Structure 1
Amino acid sequence: MSETIYPMLINGEKITTRKSFDVLNPSTGQLLGKAPEIDTDNVQYVLKSAKAGFDVWSAKTPAERKTIILKYADILAENSERIIKLLMAETGKPRDNAEYDFGMLDNCLRFFVEEFERLDQPVLHDPDDRFLHYIQRQPLGVAVGMLAWNFPLLNVAYKIGPVLASGCSVILKPSSYTPLASLEVAYLAKEAGIPDGVINMITSTDHHVTQGLLSSGIPAMVTMIGSTRGGLEVMNSSTTSIKHFSVELGGNAPVVVYPDADIVDAANKTVDLKFANCGQVCVSPNRCFVHESVYDEFVAAARERAASLEMGPLVSDKARQYVLGLVESAVADGAEVVCGGKAIEGDGFFMEPTILSNVVSKMKVAYEEIFGPVLPIIKYTDNDDEIALANDTVYGLAAYVFTSSLSNGLRAARDIQAGSVCVNEPHYSVQLPHGGLKQSGLGKDCSRYSLEEYLTIKRVSVLIDK
């Protein structure tokens, strides 16, 4: 057990407060460290610091920013082992998952600094040939980011990548479940030469205190990765002034397996993504629709694949109890447990990888986001509209389709209401836009589309002297 307190980073200073909260290792349930509870005075201090940091950082040339950002990426790489070990301890992630999580810092920092150089600032047509019109892109301002716990450093990377490249500044609040590795990442910003106030990292479990960040008129952007309910609360608290929003929220990703698909391949890829990070992935398959003619084959292949997996823990016992409750509810309503379905006894918050068959869409496990290691498999027939089944949700973050038919794949990609649709293989990368439709949010992470959200578009018209 450790009583170590990891300070917040505000204006380049490591700051603690009178109160702190515990951070547990979910693999053991034991205390890992503590983080400060930010108070109202420091909320005001971090807002002023971020504004001052923006003024300094936005005044630097893109070339100057690039040199500092790349140095920051190098320094993070030099400290990778220490940070990865801490990340594994606070999340329970296996090493390969933690390395991927940490690796997104380097990927995003380098990608966005290069992507900034590829942005255009076009000249616009003037029908009377009297003006030179052009577009000027400029940094938006201070951003506030509320982050989730499932991929702590990936979530930090998704924000600081475009923030730094664009010339903005940021106040980040990592999840109170997993703030420690994120804080260590923030501490290294000063060593890289990033000006004080550009990257600020605060911690809290008290939403009432941190609402001061949102209600302030200083932030120009509020961004979030989390639940839809949390997103609505954040956006509601922010509407005291005009702000930009980029929020990636809840998901209920469908998988549609057509009878002409490679069934074993579809089952393997679905299971691998479903149980990655113990099912705690926003784009995780949540409802698997399989045609009746291949249903039994798919279930058998999925069960075999799941039997070979080793998973880390859920983030907390509360999260585990919620997921176990979904399983119990489904079984009570007629679902069958193909494998798993129980908590694993002993230390930590572990649960068996679970597959449910004979699930129907009206079951809670099919219409609520699971965020845990449970795969519900739903049978559909030729009389069903599989696209309508996939779209029967308030969410629209991600979707997956397996078929050997080009027309089936393209039709599903066109008609499924989701921010991303992957046909025959799940695929995510920093150059691809990531975000949702409907109640899954607005705006994008990753890609040039994310970078553009941190930049204004200013139209300039200059009268041509004749």
Structure 2
Amino acid sequence: MNSDYKMLINGQLVDSATTFPVINPATEAVIAQVPDIEPAQIDQVIEGAHLAFKSWSKTALAEREKVILNYARLLEENKDDIIDTLIAETGKPLDNAEYDFGMLVTCLRFFIEEAKRLDTPVINDPDGRFHHYVMRQPLGVVVGYLAWNFPLLNVGYKLGPALAAGCASIIKPSQATPLATLKVAALAVEAGIPAGVVNIITSNNYDVTNPLLTSDSTSLFTMIGSTRAGVGAMKTACTNVKHFSVELGGNAPVVVYDDAELEKAAKDIVNLKFGNSGQVCVSPNRVFVHRSVYAKFLDIAKTHASGIKLAAGRVDGHVMGPVINEKECNRILGLIDSACSQGAKLELGGKRAEQKGYFVEPTILSEVSLDMSVAKDEIFGPILPVIPFDDNDDILALANDNEFGLAAYVYTTNLKRGLQAAEQIKSGSVCINEAHYSVQLPHGGLKQSGVGKDCSRYSLQEYLTLKRVSVLVND
């Protein structure tokens, strides 16, 4: 594996004095060394982005579109190489890696089209003296900290709206998975994106990168990560007034009523839970199943999950890859052990696989109680806790009894019941009878799951100002 990866700073591909390793979670081998950015380079990237914003923000939308679409084309021409790199640093199966890559290109194309649909509403003046209208303008320099679970999708979520809106960006991928993102950075130069408009840096030291958050030259901090990390970064950034758009932790409830289409519900939940090895912010975390169908649900779920193979890369079938590293592997196994010691029943899996890599068996737990860590905390791993409920339980109150509010799922054939659940569950998204996510749909959380939106036209608005203009037309 080529270890010659460079950062993109102000249009130049650059090294640093020191590096840190990247490990393939499927083999446990070091596959590359990447630059660990230096303090002087932080100053350079901020200054370069600030200057680039002044020109990029004034570039006509039609000109920005040409550059962005050329970038998308180049990415697709290099798809196989990028995906191979993505698989090596994440351990993803091929179909998951293709989805991850595909969302980057999709976001680039979606947001430049969405930018064309921005309107400038006219606001009525009751006295007839003024012509009032709303103006949208690029916000400024955007700093994005990204998570390791979907490296390229996460780049697309941030870079797509930033480029379309006319902002300059400084993107820091996770230190666990920077390789494919650095390849994407190199292609930005080839695509003709002006120097400083897109900057992609790597670091293993937040003390060095903190000036990105505290600088007066950065206007928006956006991230995808844990609530703890998000709150910490926002505290650091509050040295002046900034905009925040952060998608943070999740602990998605699932409510399976007694009238649900049970086989569809169980298979749908298993597929979503064990997709990307459970390392998904919207993954089912607390699965409440009515006691009258509880045993049958477990049987279907176990049968479906037992067909999952543990493998990485270009393999076919119902496949689950490794978790990201040794630390996460041990944390996940600790959650299983803790739950079982408190009375949960192990229905399936529960162990680290006897093979090279950080593979944890698909695990299903029954008789889980809400005071267990596996129910209270975000799992971010391949554990499916199943919790029975009865008619006398206030199931929607139980679904809401958590600090998070990112996603929720409900399975019922009763329309009234489904709509009531959608209204009462406090979550940024509620899917009834099937999980569904797409670039045109707003994605973001309530409560401690963040502020702002990714995807959709609502995300584009995060990168734009809203200015009211009033022109006197009648004295």
TM-score category by the smaller chain?
A: over 0.9
Unmatched segments (≥5 aa) in structure 1: none
Candidates 451, 455, 461, aligned match of 1:452: 461
Q: Distance in 2 between matches of 1:382 and 1:97?
A: 39
> Residue type matched to 1:143 in 2?
V
Q: Distance in 2 between matches of 1:394 and 1:128?
A: 47
Aligned residue runs from structure 1 range 396-415, under 5 A: 396-415=405-424
Q: Is the 8 A contact 1:26 1:313 kept in 2?
A: yes
| TM superposition shift of 1:131 | 1.4
Q: Is the 8 A contact 2:258 2:293 kept in 1?
A: yes
Partner residue of 1:18? 17
Q: Is the 8 A contact 1:3 1:34 kept in 2?
A: no
> Residue type matched to 1:281 in 2?
V
Q: Distance in 1 between matches of 2:192 and 2:473?
A: 42
3-state SS of 1:343 partner: coil
| TM superposition shift of 1:346 | 2.4
Aligned residue runs from structure 1 range 338-417, under 5 A: 338-417=347-426
Aligned residue runs from structure 1 range 180-219, under 5 A: 180-219=179-218
Partner residue of 2:36? 37
Q: Is the 8 A contact 1:147 1:156 kept in 2?
A: yes
Q: Distance in 2 between matches of 1:23 and 1:5?
A: 12
Q: Distance in 2 between matches of 1:142 and 1:88?
A: 31
Q: Distance in 2 between matches of 1:7 and 1:261?
A: 51
| TM superposition shift of 1:5 | 3.4
| TM superposition shift of 1:192 | 1.4
RMSD: 0.9
Q: Is the 8 A contact 1:387 1:412 kept in 2?
A: yes
The alignment status of 1:433 with 2:442, answered yes or no, reads: yes
Partner residue of 2:142? 143
Q: Deviations over 1:210-249 (max 9, x none)?
A: 1111011111000000000000011001001100000000
> Residue type matched to 1:206 in 2?
N
| TM superposition shift of 1:84 | 0.5
Q: Distance in 2 between matches of 1:209 and 1:261?
A: 52
Partner residue of 1:248? 247
Partner residue of 1:224? 223
> Residue type matched to 1:89 in 2?
A
3-state SS of 1:251 partner: coil
Partner residue of 1:236? 235
Q: Distance in 1 between matches of 2:25 and 2:402?
A: 31
TM-score (norm 1): 0.99
Aligned residue runs from structure 1 range 88-99, under 5 A: 88-99=87-98
Aligned residue runs from structure 1 range 63-78, under 5 A: 63-78=62-77
| TM superposition shift of 1:3 | 7.1
Q: Deviations over 1:371-412 (max 9, x none)?
A: 000000000011101101100100000000000000110000
> Residue type matched to 1:65 in 2?
R
Runs of 4+ in 1 over 3 A off after TM superposition: none
Q: Distance in 2 between matches of 1:11 and 1:56?
A: 13
3-state SS of 2:460 partner: helix
Q: Deviations over 1:435-461 (max 9, x none)?
A: 000000000000000000100011111
Partner residue of 1:174? 173
| TM superposition shift of 1:465 | 5.4
Q: Distance in 1 between matches of 2:287 and 2:113?
A: 38
Partner residue of 1:334? 343
Q: Is the 8 A contact 2:249 2:448 kept in 1?
A: yes
Q: Distance in 1 between matches of 2:2 and 2:158?
A: 30
Q: Is the 8 A contact 1:56 1:195 kept in 2?
A: no
Q: Distance in 1 between matches of 2:197 and 2:324?
A: 30
Q: Distance in 2 between matches of 1:263 and 1:276?
A: 20
Q: Is the 8 A contact 2:128 2:474 kept in 1?
A: no
> Residue type matched to 2:321 in 1?
G
Q: Distance in 2 between matches of 1:5 and 1:366?
A: 42
> Residue type matched to 1:78 in 2?
E
3-state SS of 1:188 partner: helix
Q: Distance in 2 between matches of 1:355 and 1:85?
A: 31
Q: Distance in 2 between matches of 1:431 and 1:84?
A: 24
Q: Distance in 2 between matches of 1:36 and 1:109?
A: 26
Q: Is the 8 A contact 1:225 1:249 kept in 2?
A: yes
The number of residues matched between the two structures is 465
Q: Deviations over 1:41-96 (max 9, x none)?
A: 01111000111111121110111111111111111111111101100110000000
TM-score (norm 2): 0.97
Aligned residue runs from structure 1 range 298-317, under 5 A: 298-309=297-308, 310-317=319-326
Identity fraction in percent = 58
Q: Is the 8 A contact 1:402 1:424 kept in 2?
A: yes
Q: Distance in 2 between matches of 1:296 and 1:94?
A: 31
Q: Is the 8 A contact 2:442 2:456 kept in 1?
A: yes
| TM superposition shift of 1:132 | 1.2
> Residue type matched to 1:273 in 2?
L
